[in-house]
Amino acid sequence: MRIAFFDTHRFDRAAFEEANAAFGHALTWFEPRLTLQTVGLAAGFPGVCSFVNDRLDGPCLQALAAGGTRLVALRSAGFNHVDLAEAARLGLTVVRVPEYSPQAVAEHTAALVLALNRKVHRAYARVREWNFSLDGLVGFDLHGKTVALVGLGRIGRATARIFHGFGCRLLAVDPQLKEEDARGLHLEPVALPEALARADILSLHVPLTPGTRHLIDAAALARMKPGAMLINTGRGALIDSQALLAALKSGHLGAAGLDVYEEEEGVFFQDLSGQVLQDDVLARLLTFPNVLITAHQAFLTREALGAIARTTLESIRRFERGEPLDATEVRAEQVLPR
């Protein structure tokens, strides 16, 4: 099948080209993100493959359908950037990669916690300047601390196993979590307010939906234990960034590790090092010594990239042959209302 790839980067192009040897699809690479402004590039392609910061809103989907596209293959687990109701109305099939390597994201979550706690990011910069002082680098033992996980799907569970290994006490916020699963993973199920009040570290692993947008707002931040650490490898808009700034400025929040940011679209995945950063909230967040930001790279392992490519190319083959798409198909009813 002829597929137009948008927002392509060297890392995913290499993984897809290698995996495609077994599929033989015709892949065309476009660097721009897929938006209403760039959708013309997709004209005549029966399939498009899109990434997390493309904007598949109603007008963009309408233009895709008008240009002859029938399949939208998301090379991501998240699908919050697609107007699924409009896709259904237009008869566009949407597929995603529901699971590629939960471990990749869970391990990056642990990397953020460890780096922030033991101040590895600061120590690295210091030692390179031949400053071997330890002042200001005091961390805490993870052993015995309380880690709250919000969302116990594939990634939340992989994260739970890691922190259990560190000897942490684990709280779980997820209405879908079964009692026997909680027991098996050493999790204590609690509601969000209790998790906020008790956690030394709170980590977000829920999808972004109308119901989870700004799940961590000013009120939630105020409920957190003073000095606690907040980690987000889910989606940026799970946290109200302005409220996060205020909680950091006041000193109430101890640290924040972010792999995603509410306004990352058009910023993350780009080299803007020669430019003036226009996002004042992001610029301010980057000034805190107790904030560590990575640019949506939690998924970025060789294993994950290979699995994303194989699952996506297999879904495209199945669509082309009219075979069932099973768990990779995304439907409008999967988005829970607030």
- Which residues form the catalytic set? 235, 264, 296
For ligand NAI, the closer of residues 155 and 243 by Cβ is 155
Q: Which residue is nearest to ligand NAI (CB)?
A: 153
Mapped onto helix, strand or coil, the DSSP state of residue 5 is strand
User: Can residue 68 be called a binding residue for ligand NAI (CB under 6 A)?
Assistant: no
Both tokens assigned to 123: 């120590």
The 3-state secondary structure of 165-190, one letter per residue? HCCCEEEEECCCCCHHHHHHCCEEEC
Residue 135 beta carbon to ligand NAI: minimum distance, rounded to whole angstroms:
33
Residue 119 beta carbon to ligand NAI: minimum distance, rounded to whole angstroms:
22
What one-letter code names the amino acid at 109? T
- Of the candidate residues 10, 132, 134, 176, the single one contacting ligand NAI (CB under 6 A): 176
Residue 160 beta carbon to ligand NAI: minimum distance, rounded to whole angstroms:
11
- Of the candidate residues 20, 299, 305, 311, the single one contacting ligand NAI (CB under 6 A): 299
Residue 238 beta carbon to ligand NAI: minimum distance, rounded to whole angstroms:
8
User: Can residue 59 be called a binding residue for ligand NAI (CB under 6 A)?
Assistant: no
Mapped onto helix, strand or coil, the DSSP state of residue 37 is coil
**Interface residues for ligand NAI in 227-256 (CB under 6 A)?**
233-235
CB distance 268 to 296 below 8 Å: yes
Residue the block writes with tokens 């493309």? 54
Both tokens assigned to 227: 């000095």
Count residues near ligand NAI (CB under 6 A). 28
Give Rg (Cα) of the chain. 21
User: Can residue 205 be called a binding residue for ligand NAI (CB under 6 A)?
Assistant: yes
Cβ neighbours around 33 below 10 Å, total = 21
End-to-end CA distance of the chain: 38
Residue 159 beta carbon to ligand NAI: minimum distance, rounded to whole angstroms:
9
CB distance 331 to 84 below 8 Å: yes
Both tokens assigned to 142: 């993870």
Sites of contact with ligand NAI (CB under 6 A): 77-78, 102, 105, 150-156, 173-174, 176, 205-208, 211-212, 233-235, 259-260, 296, 298-299
